[in-house]
Structure 1
Amino acid sequence: MTETERKFLILADDYKTAAFANKRITQGYLSSHPDRTVRVRIKGDKGFLTIKGRGNDSGTTRFEWEKEIPVTEAEQLFALCEPGAIDKIRYEVKAGEHTYEVDEFLGDNAGLVIAEIELTDENEAFIKPEWLGAEVTGQERYYNAYLSRNPYNTWK
């Protein structure tokens, strides 16, 4: 029940033409504490409840537990969420044996685009497409829970 992922900024929107799927995602946080985030998400026509723990020193690996829930329950849980929501479009892009999830943020986080890749090990080799920019793995300000409280449009 752990996830290992790395995060990158995006240099260009070439990922859109390479994407094989995309879905709108809205999410809120029942708890955005770094030691235990509890997220409610609607992705397309499915609802999810996710609990994440604090990451390791490099920020690549952390506890993650996720269960699918009915969308109606997710909608009801949004009423209990902390202020600030995340709205984004997620593009899925294949690169070799991996799939990048590229999140184009909307609303107060518009202008921010982040790619994530899940790995089996933090040192696993992977292809880096030309549109991939600087790595931001482990930088708290690029976590969705942080962005829900400190939107990108408020950064200096």
Structure 2
Amino acid sequence: MSESDGGDFEFERKFFVRELPASALSDPTPAVIVQAYLFAADGYAVRVRVQGPAPRSGGDTSAQLLEAVGEEWIGTMTAKGPAIGGTRYEAERELDPLVAAEIVRRSEHVVAKVRYSMWLGEDGWIIDRFLGGNAPLLLAEVERASPVVGLAIPSFCVSEVSEDDRFRNEYLAHQPFGAWVGEYVRDLDRLGPTFVDTLGSNRFEDT
């Protein structure tokens, strides 16, 4: 739910979430996203995505979700650069959704997720609930038209992963979260949460 006018750059922060918050479940029109990474190396990536209405029930594999793709869906191709300080080059162009779906269908490294959108205070937030091999991953993300500073962080955000490359979608496409969730949770419980402190003061708010 970005309103960014920063040209071919995105400004975002990302957080690990343990449970889907009630505010996300209040979204009346969640979206399903299925995306393939045609190339990913050293922070650079090329992605093809299709996005449409989330199914009310069933359809939790990429193949099942792609069966629903139609003209009302959105198709895009995006080139990304490495992220530095919450800023990342991202040039996105529209594709015919049916063509995009066929590219994704034939791709090896695919990520599928349900996206919930909501407003909290002055910021638009999304919660991504990952499917397939990346379940049970939940990530919260906030994006602005300029660097995300002085952020009010909701209580459902357990730890910040903005600078943890393992939580980038291109990494998850190659190394699904389900294969290393135990290791991550053990480390989180042992070391405690972390938050980026180089983007102004953080405020923590109950939600």
* Partners of 1:107 and 1:35 in 2: CA distance: 24
Secondary structure in 1 aligned to 2:36?
strand
* Partners of 1:92 and 1:34 in 2: CA distance: 30
Q: 1:19 aligns with which of 27, 37, 56?
A: 27
Q: Could you tell me whether the CA contact under 8 Å between 1:20 and 1:93 is conserved in 2?
A: no
Question: Structure 2, unaligned stretches of length 5 or more?
Answer: 1-7, 53-72, 184-207
Question: Structure 1, unaligned stretches of length 5 or more?
Answer: none
| TM-score computed with the length of structure 1 as normaliser | 0.89
What is the aligned length? 153
After superposition, the C-alpha distances for 1:58-117 in whole angstroms (9 at most, x for unaligned) are 3x1110011121111102322553x22101000001112211111000000011000111
Q: Could you tell me whether the CA contact under 8 Å between 1:3 and 1:62 is conserved in 2?
A: yes
* Partners of 1:76 and 1:52 in 2: CA distance: 21
4+ residue segments displaced more than 6 Å? none
Percent identity over the alignment? Answer: 31
* Partners of 2:111 and 2:148 in 1: CA distance: 30
Query: What code does the residue aligned with 2:82 have?
Result: R
Q: Between Structure 1 and Structure 2, whose CA radius of gyration is higher? A: 2
RMSD: 1.7
Q: Could you tell me whether the CA contact under 8 Å between 2:104 and 2:110 is conserved in 1?
A: no
- Aligned residue in 2 for 1:50: 78
Which gives a bigger RCO, structure 1 or 2 (Cα 8 Å, sep 6+)? 1
Query: What code does the residue aligned with 2:42 have?
Result: P
After superposition, the C-alpha distances for 1:23-59 in whole angstroms (9 at most, x for unaligned) are 0110001111234200000110111111100111x3x
- Aligned residue in 1 for 2:70: none
* Partners of 1:63 and 1:146 in 2: CA distance: 17
1:4-43 correspondence runs (5 A): 4-14=11-21, 15-19=23-27, 21-43=29-51
| TM-score computed with the length of structure 2 as normaliser | 0.68
* Partners of 1:123 and 1:102 in 2: CA distance: 17
- Aligned residue in 2 for 1:122: 147
After superposition, the C-alpha distances for 1:106-149 in whole angstroms (9 at most, x for unaligned) are 00001100011112333523332221221111100000000000
Q: 2:95 aligns with which of 66, 69, 72?
A: 69
Of 119-128 and 85-94, more deviation after overlay is shown by: 119-128
* Partners of 2:41 and 2:176 in 1: CA distance: 16
